[in-house]
Amino acid sequence: MVVEKLVAGGYSLAHLPNNKAVLLDGGYPDEFVEIQIDREKKDLAFGRVTKVLTPSQKRRKPRCKHFGECGGCRWQDIEYSYQLDMKREILREQFFRIAHMDVEVEKVEASPNEFEYRNIAEFTFQARKLGFKRWRSSSVVDIKRCWICPKTFSDIARRMREIVEILNLPIYNWKSSEGVLKHLVLRQNSRGDLMIIIVTKTEHLPNSREITRLMTRHFPAASIVHLMNAKDSIVLRGPYRILKGEGVITEETDWYTFQIPPTAFFQVNLPVALKMAEYVYEEIHPDKNAVLIDMYTGVGFLAINSSHGFRKVLGVDSNRVAIKAAVSNANINRVRNVEFVNQDVEDFATNMPECDRVILDPPRQGISKRVLEKIVDRRPKRVLYVACDTASLARDVRKFVDAGYKLEKLAIFDMFPQTHHIETVATLTM
């Protein structure tokens, strides 16, 4: 059969002889392929490409030897310019299918680095393996070299494997919920400073001093943190103690400095994030007499970047560690017109103050009906919605439009080359 197109979620789409749609693992538009059906529903089937009979001219040899096994990079075997084209088309189709809107994507900002662009990676321990999960699986691939991360990350992971063997450290069992070591999370800033975060199920990290000593022998300047996380659903959550170093990683941009604690979110691709922040600032239409509210502010990246254009900026986030860092970041940068509130966005929205502009940067599930309604009640002139999930963005934009807003622009900022993930900024105006 012929692959028709790429769709959201990392799938390609084709149709069976009975005209039933099938979502496929593998394959690119216009390729003639052989497939295997894995499961079927009444109106939809799921399968995988077993053989490509006529490959696309856009294909290329993947750089990573783990490609096809690891679930991280789904598109490493097609040209980067084509990846950007496909992301544009997927975003348009999501809006057409979910929001019933025929939209144009005004801008697609490419990443200056196709590879080695990530400033954070979350490795998972599983038995004797340390790596990333297979696509739509809990099984871990033992990663020797990840090409979308700095090479140093792979070197640290290799050293961690050796330390586990030397000290006979107990690995967490994901089925029985017994054991200790769960994740190895690595951060690196644009100067090359490193933070090594060892995530455990337990409060106690066995041989923590020896782990620190052995790791420091090879990475003497790295901060080392022990994070205690009893929950399996989220990696970076829970109390932590600093084994070595400052316990924060500092990122410096042209204008501002940001300190990022171990458990706080920060954009994974800094050069693209800076382009996005610049775009958000332009699109929000700065006004020295206006009030801006930044919801899901994190460590205050967009709030602080936008602060010089407004009378007052209010940043809100439920993450206590992130808000504490945001306050520190405002102080470090001597920004006096920004206030940060540690509160659940839903609760904050209930008594949301009057404002002229709103920035939204929610998690993948988007914003709730309640938050959206409260924003609409305040009638800010412009809303900038930053989204990492096209489905929730299309759903929420439709609701804003139904409430009287106009979708003025859509722009993609490619934070995640070689993957199907799409970072989008939507400009909504009253």
Q: Catalytic residues, which ones?
A: 388
Q: What tokens were used for 306?
A: 């936008």
Nearest to 412 by CA among 11, 91, 149: 91
Q: What angle do CA 351, 353, 354 make, to 5 degrees?
A: 140
Nearest to 78 by CA among 92, 60, 104: 60
Nearest to 195 by CA among 142, 229, 153, 230: 153
**Pairwise CA distance, residues 161 & 215, whole Å:** 11
Max CA distance (Å), the chain: 65
Q: Where are the alpha helices (DSSP H) in 263-344?
A: 270-283, 301-306, 320-332
Beta carbons within 10 angstroms of residue 326's beta carbon? 30
Would you list the DSSP string of 44-89?
EEEEEEEEEEE--TTB---S-TTBTTBSS-SSTTB-HHHHHHHHHH
Q: What tokens were used for 408?
A: 């003025």
